[in-house]
Amino acid sequence: MIAQETSLLQQTQIYAESLLKHLAVDYTYHNLSHTRAVVAFANEIADHEKLSDTDRETVLIAAWLHDVGYKEGCDNHEANGINIARPFLEKQGLSPKRIEEIEACIQATKMPQNPQGKRLPEILCDADLGHLSADDFLERSEDLRQEMKHTFEKISKKKWRKKTADFLENHHYFTHYGKTVLEPRQLANLEKLRQQLGDDDAEDEPKHGKHDKDKSDKDKSKHHKEQKDALNELSKEPDLPHPLSESKPADTVKKERKPERGVETMFRLTSANHFQLSSMADTKANIMISINTIVLSLIVSILARKLEEWPILTIPTVMLAVTCLVATVLSVLATRPNVTSGFVSREDIENKTANLLFFGNFHQMGLSDYEWGMRRMMDDSDFLYSSMIRDIYFLGKVLGRKYKLLRWSYSVFMFGLVISVIAFGIATYMSK
């Protein structure tokens, strides 16, 4: 049941049911029963994602309307559904911004799903494929096969199970609830499907004697080749209404969902190198500060009192003091920390422009907001890796400033010390 049923939701339900009840009988999967299941999944996910009442209503409205486009046929049904839903939503008095949010949710369900890191579309995408984790998954999958047979092309049960298993192996939910609750159930359904595939393979075992082994091997090889060709042809169709037929190749999906280990190693080594360089810069700055402060102490405590007796040493002493003072100031500036606001807004997190990996960006945030933002980032691989990229970039900018100031400090110290020593030598020579 829908929590906190609103008048707008009731009107949307009545409108969606009036359209879906009159779909062609060929739609044995994308029908009113499927829409009701998606609404139930969306409501379940919304509970665990702790949505506001407005956001929950937006997701549930999109869930009711996401498949009404099948009234015009299976081709491009998301766009058709948006065109059908827009006049109804405008009539209900929704603002243009709210309508755009609902339309974005519907459009995100187009396979391959692409919620673009937005929270509400992610919830609807997970709800739309919630049946992958349902107890009646095998029955719903057969309904989808029957729909494909009537609307696109007849597919044998074995081919269908193989293609469905491939899809399940590569599908991952977007929301935290989907990853922690729905995916384990999906894996259990995958095991059931694999068991059926194993039974299919056992039935297909050749029953010829040893003298027919070569012939059976050739026939089996030919059978697998034909099966593979059929699956490849099926996967090339551009406008299939089924998520499996529109999914990306398995290797592509794996690369998108699970970056290669080399990428993760690159991030780890780059971050470690940056921190090591930062530590080296701080050590170099500390050396300069220590040396120059000691020299300044000697100048003030010893040389300054001797200048009355040796006025000719005034200029070299001042030169040395200025050299040490400037070198010390530059070294201090190199290690002087910058103070940041320490706060990022939820809007920045939604737009994926916030970097929550650096303490300077979140030390003024509340724990609940920071935890919410981190979970959003962990659920979105693009957001996560873009944050890591930005973190490395800005750490590099800080390192660049540090080493630039350190170079100036060392240069001032080196040239100033040389000139001061020469000046002391000249002054000593002239005093004789």
% residues pLDDT > 90 (the chain): 36
What is the Cβ-side half-sphere exposure of residue 31, based on CA atoms within 13 angstroms?
15
Q: How far apart are CA 426 and CA 288, in angstroms?
A: 27
pLDDT of residue 245: 43
Q: How far apart, in Å, are the Cα atoms of 132 and each of 39, 63, 111, 141, 355?
A: 15, 17, 15, 9, 34
% residues pLDDT > 70 (the chain): 84
pLDDT of residue 239: 42
Query: Which position has the higher pLDDT, 99 or 386?
Result: 99
pLDDT of residue 2: 43
pLDDT of residue 417: 92
- Compute the average pLDDT of residues 171-177: 91
Maximum mean pLDDT: which of 3-17, 168-182, 223-237: 168-182
- Compute the average pLDDT of residues 194-216: 60
Short-list 422, 411, 427, 417, CA closest to 323: 417
pLDDT at 319 over 80: yes
pLDDT at 409 over 50: yes
Q: How far apart are CA 280 and CA 122, in angstroms?
A: 44
Confidence at 124, pLDDT banded by 50, 70, 90: very high
Vertex 372: Cα angle to 369 and 377 (nearest 5)? 125
pLDDT at 408 over 60: yes
Structure tokens at 261: 């280990």
pLDDT at 218 over 90: no
- Compute the average pLDDT of residues 150-169: 86
Let me know: does 101 contact 84? Beta carbons within 8 Å.
no
Lowest model confidence (mean pLDDT) among 104-118, 234-248, 343-357 = 234-248
pLDDT of residue 228: 47
The owner of tokens 């040493």 is: 313
Structure tokens at 279: 């530590």
The owner of tokens 């559904």 is: 81
pLDDT of residue 248: 42
Query: Which position has the higher pLDDT, 254 or 420?
Result: 420
pLDDT at 229 over 70: no
- CATH of segment(s) 7-240+250-257: 1.10.3210.10
pLDDT at 256 over 70: no
Torsion of CA 102, 106, 107, 111, to 10 degrees: 160
User: pLDDT per residue over 49-93, tens digit each?
Assistant: 888 889 999 999 999 999 999 988 888 889 999 999 999 999 989
Q: How far apart are CA 385 and CA 271, in angstroms?
A: 13
Let me know: does 115 contact 108? Beta carbons within 8 Å.
yes
pLDDT at 220 over 60: no
The owner of tokens 């799903």 is: 113
The owner of tokens 């040396």 is: 291
User: pLDDT per residue over 323-357, tens digit each?
Assistant: 999 999 999 999 888 777 777 888 888 888 888 88
Other beta carbons within 10 Å of 210: 5
